[in-house]
Amino acid sequence: MRIDIVTLFPNMFSGPFDESIVRRARDNKFVEIVIHNLRDYGLGMHRVVDDYPYGGGSGMVLVPEPLFSAVEAIKGESRIPVILLTPQGRLFTQQVAEELAAYSRFILVCGHYEGVDERVREYLVTDEISIGDYVLTGGEPAAMVVCDAVVRLIPGVLGSPESVRDDSHSGGLLEYPQYTRPQIFRGWEVPPVLLSGNHAEIARWRREQAVLRTLARRPDLLEKADL
Ligand code: ADE
């Protein structure tokens, strides 16, 4: 898979993609993440990327030309998804992550300032995604969230397929409680069923815990869950 990211702040990506599982996925060529500096496509000597909004109002708006130039240079003749990160987009969920994981390539465009020229939404991007109902200073943290959630779904990136299957949200439920050693920690014991060696019993207990936990914490998920 290849993910291209268009941003005004390329340095923001150096930490998060250089550690842990995303790093390993890049090293092992499961994914190539290419960062493009929008400034390189800016207008004139000063590489201008933003301007005042027509009609007045506070803040600056990203002008269309550098965004069109950047995206067109990246995608060439290919027809790949071009996704704008914006609080106005459709909500990013595990289901959307699975949808993106099925593509071999897509482009993420990070919005900034007060917004982007509407013609970018209408004629350049094919999708708009929000990571939640709150406003970030820019799309970069959202792009990182999207990349992280998608990369771990690429087959082979995580050790075992079960770790993806049992994730919170993957079957529409929250994940069951997990325990590891020691068996007794400060007097708090691991549920005996997990030590029983009875795999059917363990599976039943985990399923029950996942349902109870979802009911207690996220009853809204149960309506859509695959029970
Ligand atoms: N840019 C600013 N806020 C955002 C959000 N909640 N999701 C995606 N991109 C954003």
Where in the chain are the domains?
Answer: 2-151, 166-223
pLDDT, tens only, 190-219: 999 999 999 999 999 999 999 999 999 999
Burial of 118 from C-beta contacts in 10 A (0-12 / 13-18 / 19+): exposed
Q: What pTM does this model have? A: 0.94
**Which residue from 109, 105, 146, 141 is spatially nearest to 125, judged by alpha carbons?**
109
pLDDT score recorded for residue 166: 78
Instruction: State residue 54's pLDDT score.
Output: 97
CATH 3.40.640.10 for the 2-151 domain, yes or no: no
Whether 96 lines ligand 1, by a CB cut-off of 6 Å, is no
**Tens digits of residue pLDDT in 47-80:** 999 999 999 999 999 999 999 999 999 999 999 9
Instruction: Supply angle C-alpha 190, 195, 198, rounded to 5.
Output: 135
**CATH code given to domain 166-223:** 1.10.1270.20
8 Å CB contact between 49 and 82: no
pLDDT score of 21 more than 80: yes
Has 167 been annotated as catalytic?
yes
Topology match between the domains 2-151 and 166-223: no
Residue (of 138, 149, 115, 123) closest to 3 by Cα position: 149
User: How far, in Å, is the centroid of ligand 1 from the Cα of 128?
Assistant: 10
Nearest alpha-carbon partner for 5 in 140, 97, 114: 140
Cα of 151 from ligand 1 centre, angstroms? 20
